[in-house]
Structure 1
Amino acid sequence: MVADRSEAALASARPDSEPAATTAESGPRRRPKNRKAQIARVAARAFSERGYHPVGVDEIAAEVGISGPALYRHFRNKYALLVATAEMGAQQLLDAAKAADNPELEPEPRLTAMIRGIAEYTIDVRREGGLYRWERRYLERADRDRIRVIYTELHDTLAAAIEPLYPDADPVDIQLRSAAVLSAIGSITAHRTALSTTRLINLIIEICWDILRCELPPAPGPVTGDPIVRGLPVISKREQLLTEAIRIFGRQGYHEASIEEIGAAAGINASSVYRYFASKADLLAAALHRTAERVAIANNEALAEATSRADAAVRIADRFARMTFAMPEILPVYFAEFPNLPASEQHRLRSVQRQNVLEWANLLDGDQIEARFRVHAAIAQVADVGRRIRFDGRPENLARVGAVMRAVLLGVPAAASNPVPQAEQGTGDA
């Protein structure tokens, strides 16, 4: 564990002074005023793409064009850098939403402007935009709670703009729509499918309005009595190890988890774990491959049962939601721990995952590149909306997630009284 993580770490992330550099040829040289922001941006990208633990401070410094000791003049340690990048990303996202918000506008143009502003910012930071989403488990509670306050304000800001569309709606529904809209926008940070900036912004606006217009099933009432426990445990130690590994990786992160802890959760000692898996990386690879295979099987079953392409797309969404609610750690583990796999395993797993997405996207009408964006946005709904309802797998909650996923995948016909804002015309570069 990294020491000195909270107040001292945050203090080191705040603006400070940096001595002027000197060279033999030119004498004193002024350093860029935005050096701290440059370092944070490079670090956020590295942490997002490769994970917090594998990235070294010297790598970040080299990409910025400075030495390791020079970086430490701005940030006390790597953890302080993680805190600063996560907080900076949250605050800038909130700033983008507030800058685009104009409460004096009618609800539809107001929301469209906000969605556009948030989307433009997210596209600009696409490579580092997923940092907090997948790496927040490495933050100490005090830092995580402080950053969560910023995201709560973001949700509330968007919810305040959604509320005039549904003045009589339950606040729970408004918050769910807010989470779903932000999830759809943020989903572009989890993949690298390319689309011109103008087309992507217009597509994001369209998907968000599909979410805003869709009909939500009623929310379930409060839980009464003891929860119903369904299912029986498997006796295979290999299967138990896979299940416990995913849970522990999801809760603590791959690098913080130990073989001893995983073995203990499955009821065996560390040496016995190696009878089934050669290493922790082998265990991670097996868990992710098993999940990808289950998704592929679910896709095939949905295709076999479907009466139309749209019906198949919805059936896949239903199966995917149920699988994820049963093991909610799997998506964070996949996106956050993927870089810890050997290159050969990454290639194999990425091929399977890409095929699963293409199979799903092929069921949607319209442009196939845009269809892939819709599939990724639907996947994000399970993770983000599911987390908001604490992955409560009651049928009513699964139906609500399913309704949002269906809207993202298939769209919602615009009513005459609530048309989808016209997309702007033009071209742009991604």
Structure 2
Amino acid sequence: MHVTEAGDPAPSAARKRPKDRKAQLALAAAELFCERGYHGVSLDEIATAVGISGPAIYRHFPNKYAMLVHATRQMSETVLAATEGPAELETLLGVLSRLSVEGRRVAGLYQWEWRYLEEDHRDEFRADVVTLVHRLAVPLMGVRPELTDLDAAALVRAALSVFGSLGTHRAVIAKGRAEAALHRIARAVLRDEPPTPLPPAPDDQGDEPALRVGARREILLAEAVRLFHRYGYHAVGVEEIGRAAGINASSVYRYFPGKADILAAAFYRASERVAEVTATALQGARDDEDALRRMADSYVDLTFERSALVSVYLAENNNLPSTDRHELRKVQRLHVEEWVRLLVRLRPEVPAAEARVLVHAALNLVTDLSRWVRFDRRTGMDRHLVRLALTVLKS
């Protein structure tokens, strides 16, 4: 008599366990982590996705964290294996475009979910990214010998943000069109003037200034955003938020029913700020070209001046209460559509589906770069990023 993975007796004709079950589990876990967030997924849900029982997972992984490590490594190994060996820049861009489309559902590992890795695994992931950057920077400098190592690395980072952007949204587009668009956008970015290289952002870069005057609710919200940004939503408790705001945990509940409501308030605040800067940018624009430039300019300013708020807005969506999540996603889509409508008017030859890919790529490039460089107007970094965003939109 045979036994199924669930441990139940089964007929002798029962299907044998696939040899690639571990890879199947890792892929299912990665897709669920990216869809709902690492903390929002249970082992039972991962097991169900591949048709086995929860306990059967332990034949392959000791816990959920091991699945995150394996999935992240699998993603890195796939990309590094596909880009190994000498290759022309165009060939590498084609490979990465294809991988981005094929791995769209797990791209969130690169964007956000890797934050939940422990420090040694995080260092491993960062080392893989550095290797990939080097593999593209070498042929790029061959094509553009005027670039320094730092210039080339900055442009490659921007191009990788373009490739990663496809996983930040679910806009429908044919695979072939998506692949061609990503290839074209990345090529345009690499041909652009490099953003001024700056030292990596310190750990507290982008923290909202702690408010010590004004309404207690505003102080709590500012401190919560700062803590969510630095440690992630699930690593922060109401006690820590209250302590940072100078009150005890029980007093926090006078202002917010719970931690999820604080997060929702932060999201609504971010949505309001995005709406404000978009409206301001569009008011008084001379024409569509000027409106697009002003929108890019305002988005760069918002991202760096309120980078903690923007990062929480982008990374913690899955932790919102269901009603707020659906409402805020609708608001996000409406904001993107403002860009899309403007871009299609300027470039009527670009289908709306492709315009959405361009818009998401431009927005993601700005927010991505804001996480690894310091923003200093004296260096012209703001101008560099506005130009790169416009390069993406016009590619």
TM-score normalized by the length of structure 1:
0.82
Q: 1:414 maps to what in 2?
A: none
Q: Say if 2:380 is the partner of 1:396.
A: yes
Instruction: Identify which of 123, 135, 149 aligns with 2:113.
Output: 135
Residue 371 of structure 2: aligned partner = 387
Cα distance in 1 for residues equivalent to 2:231 and 2:171: 29
- Which digits, 9 at most, give the CA deviation of each residue in 1:279-318, with x for residues without a partner? 1111111101110111111111111132221221221122
What is the aligned partner in structure 2 of residue 308 from structure 1?
A: 287
Asked whether 1:345 is paired with 2:324, we answer yes
Query: Residues 73-127 of structure 1: CA distance to partner in whole angstroms, max 9, x if unpaired?
Result: 11011111111111111221222233xx653xxxxxx222211211211211211
Q: Which residue of 2 aligns with 1:189?
A: 167
Counterpart amino acid of 1:145? Answer: D
1:282 and 1:28 map into 2 onto residues whose CA distance is: 48
Displacement of 1:348 in angstroms is: 1.0
The alignment-based identity, stated in percent, is: 43
CA RMSD of aligned residues (A): 2.7
Q: Is the 8 A contact 2:155 2:194 kept in 1?
A: no
Instruction: Please say if residues 120 and 201 of structure 1, whose CA atoms lie closer than 8 Å, have aligned partners that are also in contact.
Output: yes
Residues 22, 28 of structure 1: 8 Å contact kept: no
Q: Is residue 336 of structure 1 aligned with residue 320 of structure 2?
A: no
For residues 173-322 of structure 1, what are the structure 2 equivalents within 5 Å? Answer: 173-216=151-194, 233=211, 235-322=214-301
Which amino acid is the alignment partner of residue 290 of structure 1?
R
Report which of the two has the higher share of helix.
2
- 2:389 maps to 405
Residues 1:49 and 2:35 aligned together:
yes
Q: What are the residue-to-residue correspondences of 1:3-82 with 2, within 5 Å?
A: 24-26=10-12, 30-82=16-68
Match of 1:377 among 358, 361, 375: 361
Instruction: Render the CA deviation track for 1:197-241: whole Å, top value 9, x for unaligned.
Output: 111111111111221222346557999xxx9xx989452322222
Partners of 1:111 and 1:404 lie apart in 2 by 19
Q: Mark the CA change 1:231 to 1:191 in structure 2 (over 3 Å): closer, same or farther.
A: closer
Q: SS of the residue aligned with 1:339? A: helix
How far is 1:163 from its partner?
1.0
Give the drift of 1:341: 1.4
Verify the 8 A CA contact 2:155 2:190 in the aligned structure 1: yes
- CA distance in 2 between counterparts of 1:125 and 1:284 reads 29
Equivalenced residues, count: 381
Looking at structure 1, the residues matched to 122 and 210 of structure 2 have their Cα atoms a distance apart, in angstroms, of 35
In the alignment, the residues of structure 2 paired with residue 329 and residue 89 of structure 1 have an alpha-carbon distance, to the nearest angstrom, of 27
Structure 2, unpaired ranges of 5+: none
**Match status 1:156 vs 2:134:** yes
> Which SS does the other structure have where 2:193 is aligned?
coil
After superposition, the Cα gap between the structure-2 partners of 1:85 and 1:232, relative to the gap in structure 1 and judged at 3 Å, is closer
Q: Secondary structure at the match of 2:333?
A: helix
Q: Which of 166-175 and 236-245 deviates more?
A: 236-245
Distance in 2, Cα, partners of 1:75 & 1:221 = 38
- Of 206-215 and 289-298, deviating more is 206-215
* Equivalent residue for 2:336, pick from 357, 377, 381: 357
Could you state the TM-score of these two structures normalised by the residue count of structure 2? 0.89
Point out 4+ residue stretches in structure 1 off by more than 6 angstroms. 220-223
- AA partner of residue 265 (structure 2): A
- The CA distance in 2 between the partners of 1:250 and 1:218, in whole Å, is 25
Q: CA deviation at 1:391?
A: 4.5
Alpha-carbon deviation of 1:28? 8.6
Query: AA paired with 2:250?
Result: S
Segment of structure 1 superposing worse, 364-373 or 24-33 = 24-33
**What is the deviation of 1:357?**
0.7
CA distance in 2, matches of 1:331, 1:354: 16
Note the 1:75-94 alignment, pairs <5 A. 75-94=61-80
Deviates more, 1:29-38 or 1:190-199: 29-38
SS of residue paired to 2:18: coil
Which 10-residue stretch deviates more, 331-340 or 391-400? 391-400
Partner deviation per Cα, 1:250-279 (whole Å, 9 max, x = no partner) = 222212111111122222222222222111
Q: Which moved more, 1:83-92 or 1:38-47?
A: 83-92
Contact between 1:137 and 1:251, CA under 8 Å: does it hold in 2?
no
DSSP 3-state at the match of 1:363: helix
Measured after TM superposition, the shift of residue 333 of structure 1 is: 2.2
Cα drift, residue 52 of structure 1: 0.9
CA distance in 1, matches of 2:111, 2:241: 24
Per the alignment, do residues 27 and 130 of structure 1 end up closer, same or farther by CA in structure 2, a change over 3 Å counting?
same
Instruction: Report the equivalent of 2:101.
Output: 123
1:1-24 deviation digits (Å, cap 9, x = unpaired): xxxxxxxxxxxxxxxxxx9x9965
Q: Distance in 1 between matches of 2:377 and 2:115?
A: 23
Hey, what's the Cα distance between the residues in 2 that align with 1:338 and 1:143?
A: 24
Check if 1:168 corresponds to 2:146.
yes
